Amino acid sequence: MQPDYRTMRYRRCGRWGLKLPEVSLGCWHNFGGEADPATIEALLTRACELGVTHFDLANNYGPPPGSAEINVGRVLNGALKAHRDELIISSKAGYYMWPGPYGEWGTRKNLIASCDQSLKRLGLDYLDIFYHHRPDPDTPLEETLGALDTIVRSGRALYAGISNYGGDRASEANRLLADLGTPLLLHQPSYSMLNRGSERDLWPAARRHGFGIIAFSPLRQGQLTAKYIDAIPPDSRAASSSQFLNAAQITEDLRARLRALQEVAQQRGQSLAQLAIQWVLRDPVMTSALIGARTVAQLEENVAAVHGAAFDAAELARIEEILGG
């Protein structure tokens, strides 16, 4: 297995030196304890071959929680061991992980203990990026960001990030980390054609302060694919009991928009998923788009989005008309 870095484009994280691939691989639902180990290894090694150098995790990814880190760790210490220094591995803490008062949120106790646990599950000496996964309404930001600073200064991680913060809170986090001498490298929000809230407050903050943005759910849990245009497949997430997507969200209005977007994609020689991923990357404020994948074919299709022709003004205007209609 040999990575081909010529097939991928890389962008800097805001004003900082670290570059990430325009498409990164999120290791959540499809990498947990119920997933096939051979498929996990095939996804990770093929991603690496395609120049996808960034694998994103969190302590609670699974199910069950922690199993994704264990499964990815096996591959990192097996088939990909020789490539560790070519890879960016990130993890997070902040959502519920263990019982009692210290098993979630943003206390110093939770974040440092979580980071140590993630390193053990992954079998790594350090993480490249460690994030606070969600804002804590009760813990002062000084404590949360101080813990991230300690994690970086102790060598547990090379860079600090945050996720799911609003623009004002992200600006404050950036200030506190700068005062401590540990830069805020990245913010990870949910962002897609169907979820554009971060454009209003987070993008201006990122431009002002110089941190990068890496979008999760650029396909809105699979809604921005051809999967739901005509019906809800019985084996799809919307047909299951998933808390993230249900059948009621697949409305006729959504289907009409998806059909119109698919027409734009077909005119560009793309799939709907490729169009949606490339659209997320249309602005240089965005560092990377985090995709999920169940199969190698799906991974290859989504990674190919980086090779689409640049959008022209008419295409962008048509997409805005569809999304705003």
The answer to whether residue 185 is domain-embedded is: yes
The answer to whether residue 194 is domain-embedded is: yes
Q: Largest Cα–Cα distance in the chain?
A: 54
The low-confidence residues of the chain, meaning pLDDT below 70, are 230-250, 325
The answer to whether residue 227 is domain-embedded is: no
Helix (H) or strand (E) holding 274: helix 272-280
**Pair type for strands 212-215 and 286-291:** parallel
pLDDT score for 44 = 98
The answer to whether residue 258 is domain-embedded is: no
What does the alpha-carbon distance between residue 268 and residue 303 come to, in Å, rounded to a whole number?
16
Is the bond into 64 cis (omega within 30 degrees of 0)? yes
pLDDT score for 239 = 45
Whichever domain contains 132, its CATH number is: 3.20.20.100
In which domain, by residue range, is 98 found? 5-222+270-310
The answer to whether residue 209 is domain-embedded is: yes
Q: Which residues have CB under 8 Å from 1's CB, separation 6+?
A: 45, 48, 49, 79, 80
Is the bond into 140 cis (omega within 30 degrees of 0)? no
What does the alpha-carbon distance between residue 185 and residue 162 come to, in Å, rounded to a whole number?
9
The answer to whether residue 118 is domain-embedded is: yes
Length of the chain: 325
The answer to whether residue 16 is domain-embedded is: yes
Number of domains in the chain: 1
Q: CA 78, 98, 63 angle in degrees (round to 5)?
A: 50
The answer to whether residue 250 is domain-embedded is: no
